[in-house]
């Protein structure tokens, strides 16, 4: 009859690895959002930070331009 040993023999067990489920990666021109619960194969959202194609900035500039009306030399407001 064999006795059960209470001591652990061999290599000691390591702590389980901590898996991060939500994280972001920031590059020069974009930010990539990952959530492994939503999309395990890749990012669920990519924000492109390029002022040439930034639509919000374009709309803001247009709004600022429209708030300052342009006038003719005789003082009448120009049509849009």
Q: Where do the structural domains in the chain lie, given as residue ranges?
A: 22-67
pLDDT of residue 6: 65
DSSP state of 44: S
pLDDT of residue 42: 92
pLDDT of residue 22: 95
pLDDT of residue 28: 85
pLDDT of residue 5: 60
3-state secondary structure 20-74: CCEEEEECCCEEEEEECCCCCCCCCEEEECCHHHCHHHHHHHHHHHHHCCCECCC
Distances from the Cα of 41 to the Cαs of 10, 20, 35, 68, in angstroms? 37, 14, 10, 49
pLDDT of residue 53: 64
For 12-56, what is each residue's pLDDT tens digit? 778 888 889 999 999 988 899 999 999 899 999 998 887 666 777
Say how many residues make up the chain.
80
7 sits in which H/E element: none
């Amino acid at each position: 009859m064999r006795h059960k040993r209470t001591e652990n023999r061999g290599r000691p067990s390591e702590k389980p690895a901590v898996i991060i489920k939500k994280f972001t990666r920031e590059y020069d021109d974009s930010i990539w959002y990952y959530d492994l619960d939503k999309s395990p194969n890749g990012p669920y959202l990519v924000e492109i930070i390029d002022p040439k194609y930034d639509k919000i900035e374009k709309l803001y500039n247009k709004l600022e331009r429209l708030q300052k009306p342009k006038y003719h030399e005789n003082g009448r407001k120009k049509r849009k």
